[in-house]
Structure formats: C-alpha cells, structure tokens
Amino acid sequence: MLVTGAARRVGAEIVRHLHAAGANVAIHYRQSAADARALAGELEALRPASTLLLAADLLQIETLPQLVTATMARFGRLDVLVNNASTFYPTAFGSINRQQWDDLMGSNLQAPLFLAQAAAPALRATGGLLINIADIHGLRPLRDYGVYSLAKSGLIQLTRMLARELAPEVRVNAILPGPVLWPEAAAEAELSPQRQQQIIDNTPLQRAGSPSDVARAVRYFACDAPFVTGQILAVDGGRSLGW
C-alpha cells in the first residue's frame, strides 16, 4: 500500500488503520520527515519490515513513477494507492495568481492523476484499489476557496473517469471528508473559532468528525467492498446535505 501525505494527521491515521489490517505501507511525505520516521518506528515495533519511507515533492510529476518503483522494490507488489496529500488555503476571487493555481491544482488534482497513471500497471496486476481523498467542497464550492474547490471537484471527476478506465481489474473510489480536522494554521485559513462553531452548527450531527472516521471509510473500501467502484462517499456528519 502507498499513501501520499501520510506522515501526519488524516494520512497517518489511514496508514495505522490499514497497517492494523495487515498491509505493508509505503509512507510518503514531503517535509514532515521526523513525523514520518516516528510513525514508521511505531508500526515497525508492531510488525518489523512492514514500512517504507518515501520523500517526494508531488508537484514534480516526473518523479512520481519512482514512488511506485520504490514500493514495488520493497514489497514486491502494490495493492492500494491512497491519494491523500493535499494543500488548502483561501484564494479570493479577484486576487488569484498563477502560483496559487499551480500549487492547489498540482497537489489536489495533477499529482493524483499522474501518480494513478504510474501505479496503474501494478494495481492491475494485483486487482487493486485506488482511493482519492477529495472534499465535500468539491461538490459545493467553499466561498473564497475557489481554486481548492475546483481542484477537488476535478478529483471527484477523476475518480469516476479512472473507475471506467481501470475496470475491471482496479476499483477506484473517493472519500469526501467534511469537518473532521481543522487546519493547523486555522487563522491563516480564515477559520476562526467562531467560523468553526458555525460549521458545526450547520452539520446535522452537530459535531466534528475525526481522522479515524476517514480512515475507517478507507478500510471499508480496502477490506469490505470488493463489488464497489466509482463511488463517492461523503464522511461529513451530513454537512453535504445542504448548508
């Protein structure tokens, strides 16, 4: 299994859940080397020789096949690819610039496309699974986050496209988290405590979720859904019902 953006937060929880289910895990990270090493150490203590650390900038698309090659060299196969890595920050319409476009589209859409393309032969060989971690705002754009929302919308469509392109050998699904974990730089992301509470108030279940909620959905697709492909699963406490 290969998970991008896996050193921390939701990605790390996905890794823990699938490792507990018996998977060997390639942990991709960009800058969070210490967190990646700590996570690998935690998992190696449970099951030796079960992890691989992969450092890469996913915007450098020419290097993406190396992630697949390294995973195959370490474990001999690739059964699951989880495109989890993401960049999130506001881009108010009227002041969007090329750097923001390249960064947000690159991490949220371009990298998943090209990594899926690189991984397709290995996934076909194992009858594998590809999971894209999108966002409910790919369905309902978030005000002032237009480029991010557009990229996640593209990722949802990429999921459907790949489900057709890679069938029948490979299943492809997407998970759309809602309010499961606030950005660490919440102030920079313009998510004040008051705004966070407003989001919770407008969520039918009246609470935030957790990274484990997303990880359990990933595990469902990986372990319990052999006849499910092309599906878009919101894990959002009902927020996508309307707000």
Query: Which residues are designated catalytic?
Result: 148
Give the CA diameter of the chain: 52
Q: For 203, left (φ over 0), alpha (ψ -120 to 50), or beta?
A: beta
Residues 6+ apart with CB under 8 A from 15: 3, 6, 25, 27, 39, 43
d(CA 6, CA 28): 6
d(CA 210, CA 9): 10
d(CA 45, CA 62): 34
d(CA 210, CA 133): 14
Task: Give the total residue count for the chain.
Answer: 243
- The three-point CA angle 6-211-229 to 5° equals 80
Only one residue has tokens 């691989």, namely 52
Only one residue has tokens 């393309």, namely 117
Task: Return the closest-CA partner of residue 134 out of 192, 177, 184.
Answer: 177
Task: Return the closest-CA partner of residue 162 out of 59, 83, 88, 104.
Answer: 83
